[in-house]
Structure 1
Amino acid sequence: MEVAATLRYARISPQKCRLVANQISGKSVAQALNILRFSPKKAAAVVHKVLESAIANAEHNHGADIDELRVSVVAINCAPMLKRFRARAKGRGNRIFKRNSHITIRVADE
């Protein structure tokens, strides 16, 4: 049985989020939570909340045993960007892309 949790439009770039997501992919749930708890990155806190949500979904909706769950898939996809302009010399402007992410985590029995 595979259970998912999704966070859409997270205000962090997918590239930064994937650095953290690659560390927990394939690990047991307890080990993944421990890695995320002690990681100094901003993405770790966001991914930690989504992982806890996936665990709660598995326990509440399907009666899964938490000790047997593993992180099977961590998908970080691009969300629509916020586009801004920064003033530059001689009346010009440079585009700034503020990137967003869609984070999906799937947990499964061993």
Structure 2
Amino acid sequence: MAKAKNPRRVGDNEARAKLRMIRISPQKLNLVAQLIRGKKVETALADLEFSHKRISGDVKKVLQSAIANAENNHGLDIDSLIVSEAYVGKNLVMKRFRARARGRGARILKPFSELTIVVREIEETVEEAPAKKPSKKKEAA
């Protein structure tokens, strides 16, 4: 008596990877996620490779994991993958304090984030649009 199989959370032509408990604020992580949204995976990997942001190395690992999931688990072609979604969520916030003048304390918040990347396989279809005829403007006689 085995449990029923969980339904897929993404489509048949999609794969995803998730990284939780990243020690960076969601706002800063979202700047890097915006960098790769909607791009082909080769371009996204190149952008992350040469990014100067500290967290771009971790984002690159998650993207590579999503690509590996697409290839190995779902049988998708890695040459036709795009980053369809890259979204950031909040996670735990560590609360610390720092001693200040006159016996007071200042709160320090150390937020954690989580990142989800979904890659989608697109069909390589090249449709030739019919050639438009140059419009003829009527000349005033």
Normalising by structure 1, what TM-score? 0.98
The secondary structure found in structure 2 opposite 1:62 is coil
The 5-angstrom pairing of residues 91-106 of structure 1 reads 91-106=103-118
Which of the two has greater strand per residue? 1
Measured after TM superposition, the shift of residue 80 of structure 1 is 1.1
1:61 pairs with one of 68, 73, 77:
73
Equivalent of 2:92 in 67, 71, 80: 80
- In structure 1, the partner of 2:33 is 21
Give the percent of matched residue pairs that are identical in Structure 1 and Structure 2.
Answer: 55
Which residues of structure 2 form unaligned runs of 5+?
1-12, 123-141
TM-score, scaled relative to structure 2: 0.77
Structure with the higher fraction of residues in helix conformation:
1
- What are the equivalent positions in structure 2 for 1:30-45 lying under 5 Å apart? 30-45=42-57
Structure 1 residues without counterparts, runs of 5 or longer: none
Q: Please give the root-mean-square deviation of Cα atoms over the aligned residues, in Å.
A: 0.6
Tell me the distance in 2 between the aligned counterparts of 1:22 and 1:43.
13
Q: Give the equivalent residue in structure 2 for 1:71.
A: 83
How many residues are paired up? 110
